[in-house]
A = this chain, B = another copy of it.
Amino acid sequence: MSEDFIKHITKRSSDFSRWYTDVIKKAELADYSPMKGMMVIRPYGYEIWELIQRNLDKMFKATGHKNAYFPLFIPESFLKKEAEHVEGFAPEVAWISEGGSEKLEERLAVRPTSEAIICSMYSKWITSWRDLPVLINQWANVVRWEKVTRPFLRTTEFLWQEGHTVHATAEEAQIETIKILNIYKTFVEEYLAIPIISGLKSENEKFAGAERTYAIEALMPDGKALQAGTSHNLGQNFSKAFNIRFENKNQKLEFGWQTSWGVSTRLIGALIMVHGDDSGLILPPKIAPIQTVIVPISRGNWKETVLPEAVKIKDELEKNGIRTFLDDRDTYTPGWKFSEWEMRGVPVRIEIGPKDMEKNQVVIVNRINRKKHFVKSDSIIDNLKELLNEIQTELFNKAKSFRDSNTRSCITLDELTEIISTDKGFVKTGWCGDAKCEAEVKERVSATIRVITEKDDSRLNKCVVCGKPAESTVIFAKSY
């Protein structure tokens, strides 16, 4: 009866941008809300976020971090304490000016990020070297008043985690900054199966108020870069603005050394873009809310014969820690269910019908290539575990080979212009370190320095713009 429910999505190969929004809506990851730029994260999308949270949170806790919760509102005067910080964020702030029926004396910012409020608390809590390091993380919502928005990638409100740490020395703060950068890289590569380049941001691209910003960057299939996480060494900028001082072991007062770092629901946007295909989503098994969907072939008296076997398999899979959904609805045909769950990106499908039961087997289908495997009932678990691992690895390898073949080196500005205008992707080149040369590239092809990376190619020894000796090797790209 319900074949007309089959959900049409634009082909990824014909219109990447429409495919992206189609998939989000039809796979029920998110929906638009009545407020411009604010999305609703639906249960299927939120389950991905829960898996991201659970796994990242473990990594934070294993490295000594604890969670806390700070207020949503920040007095305007606090936001203004660090000059660069307010300059960077003020244009994006949503302001509270009335509470209950009273006009407020001072406007309150809805947090765009929490440095200001957290630092004001740290200045109360920290007095001695014995109080350090402070290693606190917060899972929270933040609001930035964006003009152009896209679900998951740039929304007026988003969910994220923000770490805020204080250390006794500059060196410890730097170690923390890099430790977190590496956690982000490991997590995104191992769980989301997205290859990462990481490195320092240029002065121009760094966080408002930071001493140094490091980022992880991923390449999207349309050749644009996506900043997927940042880790900032704040130096003493905020500790001086907020008077965070401690007595060191020599009984001298010193300002603390700080870091802050975050990843957000934007990671889900990256996940969708990197792995999907014309039929919809493909989710890496480690982060898929449903790792295996079981579709019973509904013929004849299937509810008495096939269904009980399907239930048995489901229980067995769940006992083995495999996230499983048994689609036993009788209002849809098996064919409809196949395309529905392919569109929703479930990495493995198990089909079981009367003939399979006779042969004591099931059919296991790989979402990436739709290859079918006939598997004896007593070896489903082993086969499935292996296949899930294979899919995880293959998704990473596919994304990596795309990234590698779309990373090009160049020496002249004309070459850079040519590549960015035609193939896009990452462009590796030399840079003198002057913001003017960086601006020249942005002006000409709207590409920015994504990260400063290792010098590993002696041909890139001159600045791509001015020809002066290159201070560093950088990756230019257009970006989200």
Contact = CB atoms under 8 A, between A and B. Distances in A.
B94 A67 contact: no
Contacts of A96: 94-96, 110
Given A91-B101, A101-B91, A121-B40, A71 B108 contact: no
A41 interface: yes
A98 B96 CA distance: 7
Nearest to A90: B101
Interface stretch (A28-36, A320-328, A366-374, A387-395): A28-36
B101 A331 contact: no
A34 B75 contact: yes
A392 to B, nearest CB: 24
Interface residues of A, number: 55
A226 interface: no
A43 interface: yes
Contacts of A130: 331
Contacts of A136: 43
B98 A95 contact: yes
A31 B124 contact: yes
A376 interface: no
A118 to B, nearest CB: 9
Contacts of A31: 121, 124-125
Interface string A197-214: 000000000000000000
A410 to B, nearest CB: 37
Give the one of A35, A41, A145, A156 with max B CB within 10 A: A35
Contacts of A156: 99
A73 interface: yes
Nearest to A140: B141
Interface in A59-98: 66-75, 78, 91-98
Given A73-B35, A75-B34, A68 B91 contact: no
B100 A97 contact: no
A56 interface: no
A159 interface: yes
Give the one of A69, A94, A157, A159 with max B CB within 10 A: A69
A117 interface: yes
Contact of A70 (B33, B70, B108): B33
Nearest to A101: B91
Contact of A43 (B67, B101, B145): B67
Contacts of A41: 68-69
Given A95-B96, A96-B95, A141-B141, A72 B157 contact: yes
B67 A40 contact: no
